[in-house]
Amino acid sequence: MPPVRRGQELPKKFLDGFSEYLQTDGYAGYNGLENVKRVGCWAHARRGFDTATKSVAKGKRSPTADQGLAYCTKLFKLEEEFKDLSPEERKKMRQERSKPVLDAMLAWANTGTAAPKSELGKVLTYLKTRWMTLTVFLKNGRIELSKNRAERSIKQFVISRKNFLFANTSIGAKASAVLFSLIETAKENGIDPYKYLAWALTEASRRPEAELVPWKFI
């Protein structure tokens, strides 16, 4: 099986025809996508400030990194407060309470300086160059602050991949990806994965594929 390369051609092919919101990290391979609404991930920004706070000499602190981390933590705490709201209510509360935090953070970031190759310099650059995508969540209450939930969903696949190491064929790799996707989608819909798969396999000969997705489970 030929090696998989993380170039721009793969996201383009995989997301051909997709024109909705797309939440990603800062990987440049997504930059060639057209007709999608890019959404940034605040977990990556927060992680950058956390790394910057730990990169200073032992026993010392970085007030700038600490401040950036505090802004990020505030945003996540607000999201925790908003988690049970409807998308419309969440959007309203984000405009009222999260946006002032973001406005203050941007004003602060524009005055911050650090060596470009330092951990602090990297995260400040990340923040300022991706600010437009990082603030898209204010426009839609369905958008999440980070892609942590998606990353948690593929964690089991990543752990399993270490055990089976390689897929011998591209067909096998695709089958594994489909199976893991179905399982995680069932979980997201509050469905027992085992019961769903048993149902899907039983009904496979009687129903079209479109009727076998987890949210169609009876």
- Which are the contacts of 101, defined by CB distance < 8 A and separation ≥ 6? 71, 74, 75, 78
Count of domains forming the chain: 3
Same domain for 98 and 133?
A: yes
Encode the chain (218 residues) as per-residue pLDDT tens digits: 455 566 778 888 888 888 889 988 877 888 888 888 999 999 999 999 999 998 877 767 788 899 999 999 999 999 999 999 999 999 999 999 999 999 999 999 999 788 888 999 999 999 999 999 999 999 999 999 999 888 887 777 777 767 776 777 888 878 888 888 899 889 888 999 999 999 999 999 999 988 998 988 87
Residues 23 and 83 in one domain: no
> Is 161 in the same domain as 92?
no
86 shares a domain with 168: no
Same domain, 79 and 164: no
Tell me: do 155 and 65 sit in the same domain: no
Residues 119, 7: Cα–Cα separation, whole Å? 26
- Residues 124 and 65 placed together within one structural domain of the fold: yes
According to the model, what pLDDT value does residue 1 have?
A: 47
Same domain, 111 and 193: no
Rounded to whole angstroms, the Cα distance separating 38 from 25 reads: 10
The tokens for 194 are: 């085992």
Alpha helices in the chain (DSSP H): 9-14, 42-54, 63-82, 87-93, 99-109, 119-129, 131-134, 148-164, 170-188, 193-203
Residue positions counted in the chain: 218
- Give the structural domain span for 184: 148-216
